[in-house]
Chains A and B, each alone.
Chain A
Amino acid sequence: EVQVEESGGGLVQPGGSLRLSCAVTGFPFSAYYMDWVRQAPVRGLEWLGRIRNKGQSYTTEYAPSVKGRFTISRDDLKNSLYLQMNSLDTDDTALYFCVGDRDGAGAFWGQGSLVTVSS
């Protein structure tokens, strides 16, 4: 059974930083691409970025709204995915999901980690 568990969310002040982690089990993590997606009440589901596998040199893609502020990385030895978020703004308040790609995007989702940006 695939299990995806995000952690690291919390309250952060505007302009601050936060690092989310995602642990994956029951899934050949190293073989697959991974995405981060967030969901805010007003804006619905928003794809943030992708990191490919070792075979694709761990290359990344980002949504324009987070490019230059967010960085996705992975540690295949730990079956873990990371999202480093800098220069956070109130618009970044959302539930952040770690999502595994198999047969295309969106195959496996965690329960999400809540990030609240507020002073």
Chain B
Amino acid sequence: DVVMTQSPLSLPVTLGQPASISCRSSQSLVHSDGNTYFNWFHQRPGQSPRRLIYKVSNRDSGVPDRFSGSGSGTEFTLKISRVEAEDVGVYYCMQATLFPLTFGGGTRVEIK
């Protein structure tokens, strides 16, 4: 199975400041069709996960442009340009290139 390793596990942030979360996969996530099926999700307490980013860098509908995704191969990053209070929660990376699909262990973002 592809192991997804996120860092850091916990990220205290200051409102209005940038934040960055990394995710590393144990194998390349480039699919034979040329796409890289790598996603980022945000889960607020008591809510279902919500996809923010698909295929590395594409924002889902309604996702603020302060969120951006980048990376390739086995190294990926989610950046928040200016953290807002509603951004707290747990962020997960996920690969959908190889079966079984796998998630990272999560990064908890909290306000300092």
Question: How big is the A interface, by class?
Answer: 20 to 34
On A, residues with C-beta under 8 Å from B are 35, 44-47, 50, 61-64, 97, 103-107, 109-112
Decide: A104 and B96 in contact? CB cutoff 8 A: yes
Contact residues of B: prevailing secondary structure: loop
Q: Per a CB cutoff under 8 Å, which of A35, A47, A61, A112 touches B48? A: A112
- CB B59 to nearest CB in A, in angstroms, measures 11
Decide: B106 and A44 in contact? CB cutoff 8 A: yes
User: A112 to chain B: which residues have CB within 8 Å?
Assistant: 48
Residues of B62-104 at the interface with A, using a CB-CB cut-off of 8 Å, are 92, 94, 96, 99-103
- Chain B 46-61 interface 0/1 with A at a Cβ cutoff of 8 Å (1 = within): 0011110011001010
User: A105 to chain B: which residues have CB within 8 Å?
Assistant: 37, 39, 94, 96, 101
